[in-house]
Amino acid sequence: MIERLGLVTTQLPTTGSSVMALLVVVLPLLLGVLGAACRPKRSWPAVLASLLALLPLLTLTPLVVSQGTQAWVLELGGLMLHWRANGLTLLLLLLTQLLVLASAAYAPAYLRVAVQAQGRGPAWLWPLMGLLAASLSLIWLAADLFTLYIGLELMGLSAVGLMLLPGREDALAAGMRYLLLALIGSLAFLLGVALLLGAWGRLDLAGLAETVEAGPVLWVAMALLSAGLLLKAAAFPLHAWLAPVHGSAWTPVSALHAALVIKASFFIALQLWLVFAPQAAVAAWVVGGMGAAAVVWGGLLAWRVDKLKDVVAWSTVSQLGYLLIAFPLLIGTAPAVASIAWDGVWLQLLAHSLAKAAMFLAVGNLMLATGESRVSGLAGASRRFPLALLSFGIAAISLVGLPPSAGFTAKWLLLHAALAAGQWPWLLVLAVGTLLSAAYVFRVFRYSFVEDVELEDYRPVPLRMDLIALILAVASLVLGLAATWPLALLEITGGGP
């Protein structure tokens, strides 16, 4: 499995690709600072800046596609930083940049309509978003534990900062709790890294993969690393912080957080398992069991909660469970099974990121328009806000995993992998998850189709905000039938032609 991560490569990097890789990380940061200085009131400067940040990635992509996986070693004092870019990295980088682009396009209008306060908050949004994008890019590119730690820490801090921006009391309380847990998570991660460094004296993943030996040290280190990461990924039963944090956060921030931040921790965890414990099937089943519990518990709560945003937040907990099921399907299974599951996992991640971002934006629009935060407040919405509800619906199709969405194709692959591996429990989990997600999604629709309500005052949101949600939702739908394209990118694994 390790070669799929592109950690082993014979390719020597070119100067051009090195500059581009650096720019991919640094440019969002610079543009974030610029955003803080200018504080764009309209969408186009933000969109333009995000497109500018997309440029180095678009130059890097053909390089990697034509020449194969690229790897870089940077010397920073006595430290060696290892980076690499393979198909998977590119896919995740692209996803990050596109979602940041969507949020950046959404944010100015949102700030104007929803956040009238002229406080410091809006000014901080841009640099924090830049920092988040940069740290995420760093995580996708990193091939050693030190870079991963830096990326993780920066991402955690910028995410907390973004969540605190509304400045209201509930946002502060939830944000501080998030900060505390994120720090605990980082601490556990750091301890794990220290253990590995002490035992084997190196931090690059490719080198460690060859030198580590199974034994108590490795198990303790893996337990610490995994615990820290799963806490940050809001994996069951370490998920309790998630819903309150989203409840008070700004809509574009929620979208980014659910779509990317949580996925980064998952990505690191999966990568470490594949590198250090590729045969630890029993432990992987434990993680899969946590995933199963997350699917059921998150789904049940999403079905029962009262507030619209909580529905979406709990759905994230539930959907993350699907991803955790990847562990038992990838670790210690036959290559044929693992190769199906590999495609399924990353497709599921893409599908969920796009759909969840779309859903958060759509829900934000609905809440702005109705002035209601409860699900029952949506009564009659289908007539008044058809566009927001359409986006919600299309995103929901992907979340539930109904055809022809990317969520469906991903679920198909996961089901296929589970069947091929003979791991029957996951079939049941995926089935129950589908039904539960259908239940919570259609509960929202049920209210929105109610007709006999008084026409209360409501304010339509700018068309642009609706369109951005719709575009993301449609992207998650179209990806279902156009799945060959991202899957072809995944084929660029490295390890020679």
Which of 249, 264, 290, 402 contacts other proteins by CB under 8 A? 402
Q: Which of 116, 146, 288 is nearest to 208 (CA)?
A: 146
Structure tokens belonging to residue 36: 């803080």
Which stretch in 188-196, 220-228, 284-292, 439-447 sits in contact with other proteins by CB under 8 A? 439-447
Q: What is the DSSP string of 95-126?
A: HHHHHHHHHHHHHHHHHHHH----SSHHHHHH
Does position 420 bind other proteins by CB under 8 A? yes
**Least Cβ distance, residue 431 to other proteins (angstroms):** 6
Which of 438, 444, 469, 492 contacts other proteins by CB under 8 A? 438
Vertex 263: Cα angle to 262 and 269 (nearest 5): 100
**Among residues 11 and 319, whose Cβ is nearest to other proteins?**
319
Binding characters for other proteins, 23-42, by CB under 8 A (x = yes)? --------------------
Residues sharing a CB contact under 8 Å with residue 463, sequence separation 6 or more, in sequence order: 387
**Least Cβ distance, residue 73 to other proteins (angstroms):** 34
For residues 270, 434, 92 and 361, what is the CA-based torsion angle, rounded to 10 degrees? -130
* C-beta neighbour count of 157 within 10 angstroms: 18
Which of 52, 191, 217, 390 contacts other proteins by CB under 8 A? 390
Does position 404 bind other proteins by CB under 8 A? yes
Does position 378 bind other proteins by CB under 8 A? no
**Least Cβ distance, residue 337 to other proteins (angstroms):** 10
Judged on CB neighbours under 10 Å (0-12, 13-18, 19+), 24 is buried
How far apart are the C-alpha atoms of 315 and 71, rounded to whole Å? Answer: 37
Does position 415 bind other proteins by CB under 8 A? yes
**Least Cβ distance, residue 424 to other proteins (angstroms):** 11
DSSP summary character for residue 331: S
Q: Which of 303, 338, 487, 463 is nearest to 391 (CA)?
A: 463
Does position 466 bind other proteins by CB under 8 A? no
Alpha helices in 371-423 (DSSP H): 381-384, 386-400, 406-421
**Among residues 404 and 495, whose Cβ is nearest to other proteins?**
404
Does position 187 bind other proteins by CB under 8 A? no
**Least Cβ distance, residue 467 to other proteins (angstroms):** 13
Alpha helices in 165-215 (DSSP H): 169-200, 205-211
**Among residues 54 and 475, whose Cβ is nearest to other proteins?**
475
SS3 159: helix
Binding characters for other proteins, 468-497, by CB under 8 A (x = yes)? ------------xx-xx--x----------
Chain centroid, CA 445 distance in Å: 26
b/e code 317-336 from CB counts within 10 Å (16+ = b): bbbbbbbbbbbbbbbbbeee
Judged on CB neighbours under 10 Å (0-12, 13-18, 19+), 18 is middle
Does position 296 bind other proteins by CB under 8 A? no
Does position 409 bind other proteins by CB under 8 A? yes
How far apart are the C-alpha atoms of 205 and 222, rounded to whole Å? Answer: 13
SS3 51: helix
* C-beta neighbour count of 380 within 10 angstroms: 20
**Least Cβ distance, residue 377 to other proteins (angstroms):** 16
Does position 304 bind other proteins by CB under 8 A? no
Which of 36, 190, 300, 450 contacts other proteins by CB under 8 A? 450
Which of 42, 446, 456, 463 contacts other proteins by CB under 8 A? 446
Which of 310, 343, 372, 466 contacts other proteins by CB under 8 A? 343
**Among residues 179 and 302, whose Cβ is nearest to other proteins?**
302
How far apart are the C-alpha atoms of 149 and 171, rounded to whole Å? Answer: 26
Does position 383 bind other proteins by CB under 8 A? yes
Which of 119, 237, 371, 386 contacts other proteins by CB under 8 A? 386
Number of residues that bind other proteins (CB under 8 A): 35
Binding site residues, other proteins, CB under 8 A: 343, 347, 382-383, 386, 390, 397, 402-404, 408-409, 412-413, 415-416, 419-420, 427, 431, 434-435, 438, 442, 445-446, 449-452, 480-481, 483-484, 487
